[in-house]
Structure 1
Amino acid sequence: MSGLRETFEVETTTGPGGLREVRVPGSRLFAEAQPPRRAGLPAALFVHGLGGSTRNWELLMAELADTVDGQAVDLPGFGQSPPPDDADLSLDAHVRAVVDHLDRGGRGPVHLFGNSLGGAVTTRIAALRPDLVRSLTLISPALPELPPQTMAWPTGLLALPGAAGVIRRASRGTTFESQTQSLLELCYGDPGRIPPERRAVMVAEYRRRAELPYSLDVLSRSARGIIRAYTERGAHSLWRQAERVTAPTLLVYGLKDRLVGYRMARRASQAFADSRLLVLPEAGHVAMMEFPELVAARVEDFLAEVAAKGAEPC
């Protein structure tokens, strides 16, 4: 993944912390920065999951503002980022977009964070471009799980041809509020913990995304990319690549995760050579949104450990 073409960036305003439009080959990405509370903090990049956006990381990035110079990126087709020019939404395409962004921005090596699909993306980056990764934090990473969780079957169904049309017809007559609630029940251990004001923001963002003409197609194509990545074998399989990761790795799993089974925590702990595990009994699939303070506290300890090891004489 070296020898990438020249890219350029254009900054725009808007959004908490400031949104940047980042142009990489074939894509326009939007990134949100959390201004660090002091100068000289190490860079961090946060990558969301399927159907997510930079908003998924706002609470955790705010908690870590004393620890890292954080930035979250919208993958191609998600959040504020439009679909790529070539419509390629495979796992490798998402990986290329993030690598291009890191190479162009000169931010690497970074503390790299990934949730769900973003966990698969960042695992592959850490395996193939270790020069870009100082540490890796994976929250419910979408690594191959066979058989999958029962509640994860809808992700597989999304990958089927014509799925976008089926979903579009099935959602007629339902409100954006009820559709958002269904999604929250899938992703959160306890959606009742979400404050009303934050729930309102989530409904508004769901409505904005649902009204985009490409939103369901992007979901379907990206789901197809995940399924394809799950079936890859040999050196390109995600589990083999996890074994190649040399960066210190923090794994975060929720016992109430309906999409990624806690049973995968043991396999992940064995696969990543330098790993440690955080288990949150009440968390679902998005622990950084459900329990940002708890996750941040463990991340801070983890990054302090990484920094101390880096300062040790050889």
Structure 2
Amino acid sequence: MMQKSSFTVMFLLLALLSISACSRHDFYETAIGLERSAAGLEADTITVGKLEIAYLRNSEMNNGDNIVLIHGFGANKDNWTRIARELTNGFNVYAIDLPGHGDSSKPLDIGYGLEEQVRHLALILEALGINEMHMMGNSMGGGITALYAATYPDRIKTAVLFDPAGILKYENEMVDMILAGNNPLIPSKPGDFERLMDFALEKKPFIPWPILGVMEEQALANQQVNEVIFAAIREAGYGSEFRNTIKRIKDPVLVVWGKEDRVLNYRNGEVFQSIIPGAKLKVLDGIGHAPMIEAPEESARLFLDFAKPYLSKAG
């Protein structure tokens, strides 16, 4: 027993020494790599026109259906690793860094309205050879997913919208903050990223300080492109035009919304449900703007239960 305890203490000391000898960025890359590996994912890139697109995919492909995951504004592909742990055994998962985000190219002049982002996404999926898929999207990615389903109905088997953007019949405190010139979604100074996490997530996962620090550096470095993207989305408006487009959706749609969402009011879920033919709605108590991060197991179970009638026999 003493030997085992001594070995454990020595191991922890060696681990601490190893960490202290590494930079924060080394620690971040190692931690992110372990998180991806535990989810059965690995990183890859593909060139689409003039854009370099980063994405995550299964380390080992299988005979299951494809799932394409679309992150929200200012986010990236790694927002999906927690839910991907529940899915990669039976599905081929693709988490995309949209242009302007993550490790993908970040030009300022390609157009970032939701409809334009749907066109970018279509070219990316065509380049990856993905012709049929289940698609999940969060926030901005939820709005993109809805528009993609309306535009390419033959390619979508099911769609899951996590706290989707596109409809603002019911407003949250974020709107007042933006109108006051204080956008909580675009960090501009030290401390803003942690404030964003507190604002967006009701049930925050533990993030060690070295990782949080690097994530803040990345967010601050992306301030200019984030401002361009946000302005493009806001300028487009997506009032009646967005609603009229998603009325055309023929695919099975599940809307999942965190009741404590301070970014987009959960009551907008009822509007999505009323507009999209046959859509189902699930509101999660105690969850904020990103259910797939805050409640990954439950989010995966909701998808699996919903998608079961539409899965291929191989899946």
TM range (shorter): 0.7 to 0.9
User: Which amino acid letter does the alignment assign opposite residue 225 of structure 1?
Assistant: A
- Deviation (angstroms), 1:153: 4.2
Matched, 1:203 2:213: yes
Name the CA shift for 1:228/1:63 in 2 (closer, same or farther; >3 Å).
same
Alignment map for 1:13-24 (pairs within 5 Å):
16=36, 17-24=41-48
TM-score between the two structures when normalised by the length of structure 2: 0.79
* Residues 27, 85 of structure 1: 8 Å contact kept: no
Matched, 1:79 2:102: yes
Name the CA shift for 1:266/1:216 in 2 (closer, same or farther; >3 Å).
same
- Deviation (angstroms), 1:265: 1.4
Matched, 1:185 2:198: yes
**Residue equivalent to 1:269:** 273
* Residues 170, 265 of structure 2: 8 Å contact kept: no
Alignment map for 1:268-307 (pairs within 5 Å):
268-307=272-311
Match of 2:171 among 148, 170, 192: 148
- Deviation (angstroms), 1:147: 5.3
- Deviation (angstroms), 1:92: 2.6
User: Which amino acid letter does the alignment assign opposite residue 183 of structure 1?
Assistant: L
Equivalents in 2 of 1:123, 1:229: separation in Å? 16
> Residues 151-180 of structure 1: CA distance to partner in whole angstroms, max 9, x if unpaired?
2444567799xx98xx74xx2xxx3xx322
Across the two proteins, how many residue pairs are aligned to each other? 276
User: Which amino acid letter does the alignment assign opposite residue 28 of structure 1?
Assistant: E
- Deviation (angstroms), 1:18: 2.4
Equivalents in 1 of 2:64, 2:70: separation in Å? 19
Matched, 1:41 2:48: no
Choose 293-302 or 146-155, whichever is displaced more. 146-155
Equivalents in 2 of 1:158, 1:125: separation in Å? 31
Equivalents in 2 of 1:232, 1:256: separation in Å? 24
Alignment map for 1:103-118 (pairs within 5 Å):
103-118=126-141
Equivalents in 2 of 1:29, 1:272: separation in Å? 30
Equivalents in 2 of 1:200, 1:270: separation in Å? 44
Equivalents in 2 of 1:209, 1:149: separation in Å? 23
Choose 81-90 or 40-49, whichever is displaced more. 81-90
Equivalents in 2 of 1:269, 1:208: separation in Å? 36
**Residue equivalent to 1:222:** 229
Alignment map for 1:38-187 (pairs within 5 Å):
39-84=62-107, 86-146=109-169, 148-154=171-177, 168=188, 171=189, 175=190, 178-187=191-200
TM-score between the two structures when normalised by the length of structure 1: 0.80
Q: Which has the larger Rg?
A: 2
- Deviation (angstroms), 1:282: 0.7
User: Which amino acid letter does the alignment assign opposite residue 195 of structure 1?
Assistant: F
Q: Secondary structure at the match of 1:252?
A: strand
* Residues 43, 57 of structure 2: 8 Å contact kept: yes
- Structure 1: where are the runs of 5+ without partners? 1-13
User: Which amino acid letter does the alignment assign opposite residue 146 of structure 2?
Assistant: T
Name the CA shift for 1:61/1:264 in 2 (closer, same or farther; >3 Å).
same
Equivalents in 2 of 1:231, 1:275: separation in Å? 20
Alignment map for 1:210-249 (pairs within 5 Å):
210=220, 212=221, 215-231=222-238, 233=240, 237-249=241-253
> Residues 112-142 of structure 1: CA distance to partner in whole angstroms, max 9, x if unpaired?
1110000111111111111221110100000
Q: Secondary structure at the match of 1:141?
A: coil
Name the CA shift for 1:118/1:53 in 2 (closer, same or farther; >3 Å).
same
**Residue equivalent to 2:254:** 250
